Amino acid sequence: MTEKTQHIPVLLHEIVQALSLRPDMCVVDCTLGGGGHAKEIMKHLGPKGLYVGIDQDPMVIHRLQEQHLEKEYSCQIQYLQGNFGNLGQLLSDAGIQQIDAFLFDLGWSSDQIIDPEIGMSFLHDAPLSMLLKREKQPGDIDAYDMINTWSEETLADMLYIYADEHRSRAIARHIVEERKKKPFETTLELANCIENRFGRGKRHPATKTFQALRIAVNNEYQVLKDSLHQAIQLLSPGGHMAILTFHSGEDRIVKHLFKEYVDTGVISLLTKKPISPEYSETRQNPRARSAKLRSIQKI
């Protein structure tokens, strides 16, 4: 494992407001991550309140357990390991029924991005995997499989759909040409291949390729849709939900799905337009620049 980085939660005050926290609430945080939002939520919960943190990465849960937050906060705390695409089953198995608020923070934690065991970043050399659950199971497809076996057309479509990469065709063509010589094994091999072909500007030319691979490997778009449908059904009447996205593809999914439920009278929008961080926040935390917060209330 790499050394733990400092986690800076995004739009912290705005999320607390959107969730309308009370001491006796049950709050489900579907993306535990670095725990920044978790700790702020716990501050607002009392002995009758319950915080439920979900993450499919066992190391994320282990880090939070090591902090023994139950000694610092008065609320009940429960951690569930699993993919939030299986939200309903996870909560049912844990005996959690009445949920007053849901939080989805769809940003990747810095620790996961740089963790060589996961292999998501070109900042460090690591095996080309990107599976957030870490262990590859039969039937799983990781970044190595995609880069080395998918057709040029399929690779190009993935880069365009998941990352709006305008050079998707050219990058896919180059990857297919280079893998004929030798399969891509590591993150740096892939990143250097793209940089050698397209040069380096203000942003590394492989940035969007890695973003698209992370989304595709972990099936993030479908998981997001599935989890939002489940969360809206599970949310108690009057309950709130806040969703923090970090790129346009995620935000489009949330926007369109919310519209469906508004049109059928299931929810009401608390944010007509998404909330973005102020300049002061993005200056302190540049990763917050693309963040958008949307929130709803169950009718």
> Last residue of a domain, which of 188, 217, 246?
217
Give the ranges where the chain is alpha helix by DSSP (H): 12-19, 36-43, 58-66, 87-93, 110-114, 143-149, 152-163, 168-179, 187-198, 207-217, 220-234, 248-263, 279-284
Q: What is the pLDDT of residue 59?
A: 85
How far is the C-alpha of 161 from the C-alpha of 299, rounded, in Å? 33
Query: Does residue 126 form part of some domain?
Result: no
Q: What is the pLDDT of residue 169?
A: 98
pLDDT tens-digit profile of 34-48? 888 999 999 999 999
Comparing C-alpha atoms, which of 249, 134, 128 is closest to residue 194?
128
On whether both 239 and 271 belong to a single domain, the answer is yes
Query: Does residue 125 form part of some domain?
Result: no
Query: Does residue 122 form part of some domain?
Result: no
Query: Does residue 118 form part of some domain?
Result: no
Q: What is the pLDDT of residue 132?
A: 75
Query: Does residue 120 form part of some domain?
Result: no
On whether both 177 and 246 belong to a single domain, the answer is no
On whether both 93 and 138 belong to a single domain, the answer is no
Q: What is the pLDDT of residue 2?
A: 44
On whether both 23 and 103 belong to a single domain, the answer is yes
Q: How many domains does the chain have?
A: 2
Query: Does residue 171 form part of some domain?
Result: yes
Report CA-CA distances (Å) from 167 to 146, 176, 183: 18, 14, 22
Q: What is the pTM of this model?
A: 0.87
Q: What is the pLDDT of residue 1?
A: 42
> Last residue of a domain, which of 217, 236, 265?
217
- Mean pLDDT by 10-residue block, N- to C-terminus, for the chain (299 residues)? 60 96 98 89 97 91 93 97 94 96 82 55 84 76 96 98 95 98 96 94 90 92 96 98 93 97 98 95 89 97
Query: Does residue 248 form part of some domain?
Result: yes
Domain coverage including residue 224: 12-111+220-298
pLDDT tens-digit profile of 267-281? 999 999 999 999 999
